[in-house]
């Protein structure tokens, strides 16, 4: 099972600004390219900040005058940025970046935790190689139901868990997976459910799976016990 990473969905041809790019030039970049923000890079293409529409609106608000209600709440540092004329003065910093090999769920967690709309993507040298947005992270959910069902039936149930082909029936409707049938051991049910939830495009998993034997209270450490071994686990010495 292969899952999409940031490099699979990121925009590679990134529109950028430089330290001396002016306010009006940035407005033009956003308008011409139909984007809402541009990374600001140095001479080695290292991201040093981001200028977004919000930063430009802050500037526009400042132009209304200090006595206007819209600017009274600004912190002194925000006033400095609002009065800036070039990218280096207006940009948001520091920059939080992603790596191309990150799983999409990892990028989504960073965006959610930091309340970000986009993440510049950098290489091993810290150079900008792409940018990923919230909408990019939603691309896996465009995956078709048939492709999801096929991956569950073959990659998960047959090739990974070695279940008989007729043990579990899989249906997928708008990304919602429904599992019915009977498995040999009760301990397999949460494993199957977890593996299905982790697949690209899966919105939810619903299951009414039965089992032949309740092995959840068995001692899986004794010789011959048939338990599920956690990935990367190793014996203790």
Residue 147: give its domain's CATH number. 3.30.1340.30
Do 102 and 165 lie in one domain? The reply is no
Would you say the C-alpha torsion 225, 231, 234, 236 has a positive or negative sign?
Answer: negative
Is there a contact between 171 and 178 (Cβ–Cβ < 8 Å)? yes
Do 114 and 38 lie in one domain? The reply is yes
Asked, for residue 1, whether it belongs to a domain, the answer is no
Mean pLDDT computed over 40-64: 86
The predicted-structure confidence for 130-188, as pLDDT tens digits, reads as follows 999 999 999 888 899 999 999 999 999 999 999 998 999 999 999 999 999 999 999 99
**Average pLDDT of the chain to the nearest whole number:** 86
**How far, CA to CA in Å, does 221 sit from each of 211, 228, 234?**
22, 11, 13
> Domain of 124?
6-140
Query: Which residues, other chains included, contact 97 with Cβ-Cβ below 8 Å and sequence gap of 6+?
Result: 47, 119, 120, 121, 122, 126
Asked, for residue 200, whether it belongs to a domain, the answer is yes
Do 151 and 131 lie in one domain? The reply is no
Among 117, 140, 163, identify where a domain stops. 140
Asked, for residue 59, whether it belongs to a domain, the answer is yes
The pLDDT of residue 55 is: 86
Do 61 and 173 lie in one domain? The reply is no
Do 132 and 152 lie in one domain? The reply is no
Do 134 and 170 lie in one domain? The reply is no
Asked, for residue 222, whether it belongs to a domain, the answer is no
Do 122 and 16 lie in one domain? The reply is yes
Number of structural domains the chain divides into: 2
Residue that has been written with the tokens 């930063």 in this structure: 55
Mean pLDDT computed over 184-212: 95
The pLDDT of residue 70 is: 46
Do 194 and 79 lie in one domain? The reply is no
Do 109 and 29 lie in one domain? The reply is yes
Cα angle for residues 9, 139, 106 (degrees, 5° grid): 65
Cα angle for residues 78, 26, 93 (degrees, 5° grid): 40
Question: Whole-model pTM above 0.75?
Answer: no
């Amino acid at each position: 099972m292969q899952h999409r990473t940031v490099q699979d969905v990121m925009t590679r041809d990134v529109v950028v600004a430089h330290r001396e790019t002016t306010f009006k030039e940035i407005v033009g970049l956003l308008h011409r390219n139909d984007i809402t923000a541009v990374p600001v890079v140095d001479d080695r293409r290292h991201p040093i900040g981001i200028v977004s529409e919000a930063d430009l609106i802050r500037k526009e608000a400042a132009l209304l005058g200090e006595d206007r209600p819209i600017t009274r709440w600004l912190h002194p540092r925000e006033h400095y940025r609002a009065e800036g004329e070039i990218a280096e003065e207006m940009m948001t910093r520091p920059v939080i970046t992603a790596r191309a090999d990150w799983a999409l769920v990892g990028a989504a967690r960073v965006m959610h935790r930091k309340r970000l709309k986009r993440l510049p993507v950098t290489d091993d040298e810290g150079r900008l190689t792409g940018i990923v947005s919230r909408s990019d992270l939603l691309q896996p959910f465009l995956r078709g139901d048939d492709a999801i069902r096929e991956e569950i039936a073959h990659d998960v149930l047959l090739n990974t868990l070695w279940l008989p082909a007729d043990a579990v029936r899989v249906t997928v409707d708008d990304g919602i997976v429904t599992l019915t049938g009977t498995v040999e051991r009760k301990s397999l049910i949460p494993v199957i459910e977890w593996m299905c939830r982790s697949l690209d495009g899966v919105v939810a998993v619903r299951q009414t799976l039965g089992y032949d034997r309740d092995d959840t209270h068995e001692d899986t450490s004794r010789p011959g016990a048939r338990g599920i071994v956690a990935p990367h686990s190793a014996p203790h010495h």
